[in-house]
Amino acid sequence: MQKAGFLKYLSRYRAMVPDARDPGEMARRFRRYAATVAQDKQALAAQVWALLEADGAGDEALQIFAQGFSAADTPREVAQFRARSGQLAHVASLRTQLMLRARKSLLHDKTACPEYIAQDKKRAYRFADLLGIRRPAVLQARQAIDSLDLEMGHALKPPRGSGSRGVYLLHEGNRAVDLRCGIILPDRDSLRAALHADVAARRVPLDVWNVEGLIRDAATPSGLPDDWKFHCFYGEIMLMGHIRKLPQPMVFGLDHALRPTRWFQLDPTIPENPAPQHPCQSFLDLARRISLALPSPYIRVDLMTSQEGPVLSELTARPGVLHLHDLETDRFLGEALLQAEARLERDLMQGKPFLAYKTLLREWRAYKAETA
């Protein structure tokens, strides 16, 4: 490996300065993220730089570098060194591996990556039906704002979305709750105005909405369900998050051993006594069951609490906030995905049928043929 080339590569990180000229929201969010990444990379680069400038410290510098940079941003020379020396313990990255699966799904009309077939809201609910799992009742599908039935006990959701964008709950008289912001809308006119504003601001890309039966949970302060999000790696749950939107937002995470941990890198301090501390065993069992029914190494299973037990909310192939995981978590989950791929390949070789998914795939292909 050429020291000069390595130093030139590291110099990029010593010069990373966030651009403060664009006042747009996305630019501000990216600057925050870039600043965090830059600080981590700069500190590591400075440490490695000092070692490389010292005589006889090259091997130690490479060890530190291998631990601090992922396979996605490692220069070619260091990647070759790792492969030759067998230092591959730090190359896994959930971010990188899921991005590659997203590209793979585009190359093969989604069929190469079953999680992209199952994550569509309508197909996720059909998958739940095939598995005999509770999910919300769909009262209206793909309707424009002016055609929506805005009655108490309904939930409004766009067919696609993330971060609770465009999700409104009508659970008390004429009032509605904007779940993303926690804002109470006093009447139906305010609700319709909020829906139009979501479409105009592109928070919801199209004026297309679903109306679902509202799930309730008397055990929560608001009477509305909490969300549990399970990162599932073909039957193994390696990270989970508990989210309560009302009356006060609360988010915390648990690792694979049910120990409190940070849900994301930018989260506040871990609560000392989060409540409830652990999901019910029925939630864990159901998330694992859904994961094992899908021939995919990764899926995030979102379940809602209710008086009757867990209810499927959605399936997610590639969560949009993976960049907020710190490097250690990203590697840990990347290793989990590699192990899940090995278990899945073993089951496929042994002839596991995946009957529910095959039915889902057959129906999807029939639909595609009819609409072609």
The string of DSSP letters for 82-150 reads HHHHT--TT---HHHHHHHHHHHHHHTTTTTSHHHHHTSHHHHHHHHHHHT-----EEEEEE-GGG---
User: Span 266-283, mean pLDDT?
Assistant: 61
Q: Report pLDDT digits (tens) over 123-159.
A: 999 999 999 999 999 998 888 988 888 888 888 898 8
Contacts of residue 78, Cβ cutoff 8 Å, sequence gap at least 6 = 1, 6, 62, 65, 66, 69
pTM of this prediction exceeds 0.85: no
Percent share of the chain, pLDDT over 70 = 70
pLDDT band at 59 (very low <50, low <70, confident <90, very high): low
Provide the mean pLDDT of the chain.
78
3-state helix, strand, coil in the chain (%, to 5): 45, 15, 40
pLDDT band at 56 (very low <50, low <70, confident <90, very high): low
Task: Name the helix (H) or strand (E) containing 41.
Answer: helix 25-53
Cβ distance 74 to 49 under 8 Å? no
On the question of pLDDT at 247 being above 50, the answer is: yes
pLDDT band at 277 (very low <50, low <70, confident <90, very high): low
CA distance 369 to 324: 39
pLDDT at 64: 57
Residues shown for the chain: 372
CA distance 291 to 114: 11
Among all chains, which residue has been given the structure tokens 């192939």?
Answer: 317
Ranking 74-88, 186-200, 356-370 by mean pLDDT, the lowest is: 74-88
265 vs 349: which has the higher pLDDT: 349
Classify residue 86 as left (phi > 0), alpha (psi -120 to 50) or beta. left
CA 238 from centroid of its chain's CA atoms: 13
pLDDT at 306: 92
- DSSP labels for 188-250? HHHHHHHHHHHHHTTSSSSS-EEEEEPP--TTSTTSSPPEEEEEEETTEEEEEEEEE-SSS-E
81 vs 200: which has the higher pLDDT: 200
CA distance 263 to 333: 13
Which one, of 247, 280, 286, 251, lies nearest residue 265 by Cα?
251
The SS3 assignment for 341 reads: helix
pLDDT at 13: 41
Domains, the chain, ordered by start: 3-91 (no CATH), 114-121+222-360 (3.30.470), 137-213 (no CATH)
Ranking 17-26, 115-124, 137-146, 333-342 by mean pLDDT, the lowest is: 17-26
Hey, CA dihedral for 125, 130, 136, 140, is it positive or negative? positive
Contacts of residue 123, Cβ cutoff 8 Å, sequence gap at least 6 = 117, 360, 364
Tokens coding 56? 């006889």
Q: How many DSSP H helices and E strands does the chain contain?
A: 11, 12
330 vs 53: which has the higher pLDDT: 330
pLDDT at 287: 97
Percent share of the chain, pLDDT over 90 = 30
Give the C-alpha distances (Å, rounded to integers) separating 19 from 28, 32, 239, 347, 355.
9, 10, 33, 49, 52
Return the axis-axis angle of helices 355-371 and 121-131, rounded to nearest 10°.
140
Contacts of residue 371, Cβ cutoff 8 Å, sequence gap at least 6 = none
Ranking 11-15, 60-64, 122-126, 231-235 by mean pLDDT, the lowest is: 11-15
Q: Report pLDDT digits (tens) over 75-113.
A: 455 555 555 555 566 678 888 899 999 999 988 878 889
